[in-house]
Structure 1
Amino acid sequence: MLLLERTKSSKLIMLESLMRRLAPADSDYSYFKESYQRQVAGFEGEKFVDREWFDMPNLGSHYLFFNYEFENKFGFPHQIDTLLLTTKFLLILEIKNISGQVDIDEDKHQMIITRPDGTLKSYRNPLDQIRRHSQHLILLTQLNVSLPIVGALVFSNPATIIGNVPKNFPIFHSSGLRFFVQKLLKNYPEILQEKRLEKLSGDLLSKLKRQEVKPTINLSRIKKGVLCENCHFQIEMKYQGGLWHCAECGCRNKKSILQAFHDYRVLVSNKITNSEFREFFGIESIDAASKILIRLGIETVGEKRGRHYLIPPDIFTK
């Protein structure tokens, strides 16, 4: 049973907003664009592997968690690409979407990627990350469950060349996932009854804690206002007669403001005052700003000068 759907990570959502609002001429634009492209590739790779689960026979009683996030007892975050809970074991998958050859050096704790153009790049060892996740899944010990935890590194890109990697750790292409899981199901004995499995899945879900990621740059560098999607978010729209109007292409849109609110929530804060709204959205009139905010039905907290508005996570889908 799929218990937790695949969603975009907070980092990817933040970078999407930043790409809309950071000028291409900015000194850090290339850095953030590369980071954004890596996040997109990773997300697409995860979705590619997800399809394997829905074509996998004889899984038995199980619960699947996509993009599972939690905090350990020290308050540090963990993000697990895929978590499979069965009556026999708990499986942690780390998914990589890589073009080129991958070599992993356990002694030096690094992963080396050789790109098709011959360039080399070094990254942290993903096996260390899987082991860290395993060590901190203390929910199991709290419930007195001695369920084995298994980790595997899965490559979603069929073109990835798996080079020199440790032989004692499961590392394979996504096409091998079903065979690997079936082998685990065959080799591990039954430990949990279905009721206990259901209880454990609920406990894991209750510990879900999404991380909010904010940009590491001064927000004075981002573009303000309601931006025109037709103009690739390069032109700031003006508010006229209840609509947002683009002087460049002539586009008029009532909902463009929702995208801007989403970006403000992701990049700045989930709270905004009338004054902050006018400053960021380019509205001069206090009354006009109040009417816009009231019309959107955004929750308010406080009174008079202490009043602020809470921007919901789903503002863009309203």
Structure 2
Amino acid sequence: MILLAWQPSDSQKILEAMLQRLPQTHKEYAYARERLGRVKAGLAGEQRVDAEWLELDLPAPHYFLHDFQTRNDFGSTHQMDTIFLCPHFLLILEIKNITGILSYDASYAQLTRTTIEGTVEGMVDPFLQLERHVAWMKKLLQRERFHLPIVHAVVLATRNGILTKGFEGQPIFHVTGLRSCIQRWTEMYQPVKAEALLPFATRLLSMHTRLKKEMTVPFKEMMKGVVCPHCGNGQRLQYHYRKWTCPRCGLVDHNALNRTLEDYRLLVGPQLTNRSFREFFAIESPNLAYKLLQQLPLKAEGEKKHRKYWIID
């Protein structure tokens, strides 16, 4: 059972909104496009691992929490790609969609990759990340007085990531190795009572909190207004007779307000006023802006010119 499903990250949504509103000649455009490509590649890797899970004969009952995010007692964050719980063990997976020749030096906690062009790049040590997550999970299990063995691994979602001898003894394998590892761990550990598993899985779910990642947004240089989702280069929709219509392709966008409000939330923040709404939506009339604001899922505070609005999650 999937208790927590994959969801598009705010990072992906912000980058997509930026690319739709930035001129292609802007200095940040190429960087945002390259970064979005990395985010989508990571999502593709996660989907590849999901496809492998579907082919496995898994112990029952079992529960998945994907992209689990939380904070510990010290305020530090934990983000785990996949948590898999079954009566035999709890598995924490770190999913990597890395291509090239991969090398690892445990004495320096150093992971590097050599690209097809011969460039050597340093990368974050995923094993230290996993060990930190495992330590936190062990403390949580002790606090909840629930005993369940913890295993962990790095999964390479692409066969184009080539492991060298430096990885010997490390918990890392290609996605096709997931089947044999699940079988080995199932045989290694005695199962707990099945009915005791769901309460702990539910406890984990209650601790999940979407973590906000800071990202520099060149807001002043962006195209303002309600942008056509089909046309490129920031083509604006026109508001006429209570409809948002694209003068280029003829699209009548019935979701234009809510879609652009989401862009505002991602690029500006959750709070707005009549003035900031007009500036972002490219509307001149305060009266029209007021009428449109009443159509949106907002919480209003204050009166008249001091009124502020908050976007409801």
Match of 2:101 in 1: 101
Shift of 1:60: 2.3
Asked if 2 retains the 8 angstrom alpha-carbon contact of 1:83 and 1:92, the reply is yes
Match of 2:195 in 1: 195
Asked if 2 retains the 8 angstrom alpha-carbon contact of 1:6 and 1:47, the reply is no
Asked if 2 retains the 8 angstrom alpha-carbon contact of 1:22 and 1:222, the reply is yes
Write the letter of the residue equivalent to 1:200: F
Write the letter of the residue equivalent to 2:35: S
Asked if 2 retains the 8 angstrom alpha-carbon contact of 1:139 and 1:204, the reply is no
| Fraction of identical pairs, as percent | 35
| Separation in structure 1 between the aligned mates of residue 292 and residue 9 of structure 2, nearest angstrom | 30
Asked if 1 retains the 8 angstrom alpha-carbon contact of 2:61 and 2:194, the reply is yes
| Separation in structure 1 between the aligned mates of residue 291 and residue 163 of structure 2, nearest angstrom | 59
Asked if 1 retains the 8 angstrom alpha-carbon contact of 2:46 and 2:95, the reply is yes
Match of 2:173 in 1: 172
Deviates more, 1:268-277 or 1:38-47: 268-277
Shift of 1:168: 1.9
Match of 1:243 in 2: 243
Asked if 1 retains the 8 angstrom alpha-carbon contact of 2:23 and 2:233, the reply is no
Q: Secondary structure at the match of 1:253?
A: coil
Deviates more, 1:114-123 or 1:298-307: 298-307
Shift of 1:280: 1.0
| Separation in structure 1 between the aligned mates of residue 175 and residue 104 of structure 2, nearest angstrom | 18
Match of 2:155 in 1: 154
Write the letter of the residue equivalent to 2:309: Y
Match of 1:316 in 2: none
**RMSD over equivalenced CA pairs, Å:** 2.0
Shift of 1:269: 1.0
Please list, as runs of the form range in 1=range in 2, the aligned pairs for 1:220-235 lying within 5 A after superposition. 220-235=220-235
| Separation in structure 1 between the aligned mates of residue 172 and residue 272 of structure 2, nearest angstrom | 47
Write the letter of the residue equivalent to 2:94: E
| Separation in structure 2 between the aligned mates of residue 312 and residue 246 of structure 1, nearest angstrom | 28
Match of 2:56 in 1: 56
TM-score, normalization by structure 1: 0.90
Match of 1:5 in 2: 5
Q: Does 1:206 align with 2:206?
A: yes
Runs of 4+ that moved beyond 6 A: none
Shift of 1:299: 3.7
Which stretches in structure 2 are left out of the alignment for 5+ residues?
A: none
Match of 2:278 in 1: 278
Matched residue count: 312
Q: Secondary structure at the match of 1:133?
A: helix
Shift of 1:297: 4.8
Write the letter of the residue equivalent to 1:143: E
Asked if 1 retains the 8 angstrom alpha-carbon contact of 2:114 and 2:121, the reply is yes
Asked if 2 retains the 8 angstrom alpha-carbon contact of 1:239 and 1:283, the reply is no
Task: Deviation per CA, 1:248-299: give whole Å up to 9, x if none.
Answer: 4444433233322111111211222111101111111111111112233544
TM-score, normalization by structure 2: 0.92
Shift of 1:54: 2.0
Pick closer, same or farther for the CA change 1:34–1:109 going to 2, 3 Å. Answer: farther
Pick closer, same or farther for the CA change 1:140–1:14 going to 2, 3 Å. Answer: farther
